[in-house]
Structure 1
Amino acid sequence: MPHPDPGPRRRRPPYDLDRLVSVSARVFGERGYDGTSMADLARATGLTKPALYHHAEGKEHLLRLALERAVVPLVAIADESLALPGRAADRLRYLVTRQVGLMIEVRPYMSLLTSVRGNTETGRWALKRRLAFEDTVTALVAEAVDEQDLSPTTDPRLVGRLLCGMVDSIAQWHESPDGEDIARTDALQLADAVIRLACAGLRAVPGSPGRGARPPQRRPAPNELAVESSCD
């Protein structure tokens, strides 16, 4: 008597390189690159080590592929911001908004980029490009100071680092207690908060002292405590 056809068996979908890079970025984020072995990656993917080596040369190759998902668009944002017409303050706002959007869109890869160290060739490559991006932010801040849209007492290098650090921190802190994905958060809302916090205290004020001068100390009036956007 013939047995009834049970139908096609369900099989785990085969791993392609895209899924492998995604899982690798998650494991690197959880264990750190140095604390992750190919055996760890094999367990996380459910593949054998030979199968992993079929897709990638090793864990540094997977690290490079994961970091490229953050570095390549980050470099593009910097280039776009420098090429745009208009005042530097507007281009700085554009850059921060795009950077925050990228942090939300590809958070695991951006988070990995913020934690990478220069102890491998890939790590040094990524750090070099992170510093180049920071240089772009610094250049825009300096240009905005020259255009008198930011206070002449502004230190462009310091502010550039602070802006990058504020955006980088989104990867660590902006998750709800129940683990909802950060992608549900409005990128424009986050970017506006960064700009407001940074720029409201930096805007050039008519009659303000020159670069290096110490501003007079006084208590603010109650109506001055509200923070307003200054890069509009």
Structure 2
Amino acid sequence: MNAHFNPDGTKIVFMGQPAGSGDWDIYLWRVGDTDAPTNLTAGNGLRDEDPKFSPNGYRIAFKQDGDLKLLDLDANITDVITNTPSIEEGMPYYNDDATGLLFAQGAGNNSDIFQINLDGSNKIALANVADVQEYYPIKRDQNTFLYSRWVSSSDHHDQVYMGYFANNTRTRLPFNNANAEYADAYPCGTDYVILSSTRAGTAGGYDLYIGDITSKNIWSLSSYNAGINSSDNELGAAYTPN
């Protein structure tokens, strides 16, 4: 689950659970390859989750037992970004110049979004509304990022927001509706995002949609690929133009 493309679209990295194991591992697969994916974290007895490629494709940021680390494609851990056993950190995503990571810290109404340098320094809050869950940060461009958050502390419907690195502006994107869940947004060109939603008319709980960030327009991806949505939940999409 939660697959992510490398920059040229030839590889994906994802998290999976080996049969008979309670642990999650990080897998690497070359798109179209007939060989099985490579388990990069096999046998370590730890929970390895939330992998995302670096902008050059040579590193993978991921979460290991609640801390943020970097992994190379030969399965070597090259950097330990955080070492805070009492604090849950996850969902890392590289910033635009690959000098730091966006990530979610905490759980439930204590989940907020931060940025941290790769050496573990200069942790700053990017979205931290009190008693509101904010999570799944994805860098959109050098100026903005996407994330999911509750409507309010009393309304726990997820909505897709856009934040700005330079200031505290946080914009609820116009295609959201507070009567359904909108989450896991990923950039698709300059004006669109791929996202998951439970809005009316889905084939399952969550379906994939493409939303216009400048208007209320939103379309089911079933209009473009009749088999893409199913009775299962479709979550954590990534997009590559390659």
Bucket of the pairwise TM-score, normalised by the shorter protein = under 0.3
Please state which structure has a larger fraction of its residues in helix: 1
TM-score (norm 2): 0.23
Please state which structure has a larger fraction of its residues in strand: 2
Instruction: Compare CA radii of gyration and give the structure with the larger one.
Output: 1
Which structure has more relative contact order (CA 8 Å, sep 6+)? It is 1
TM-score (norm 1): 0.23
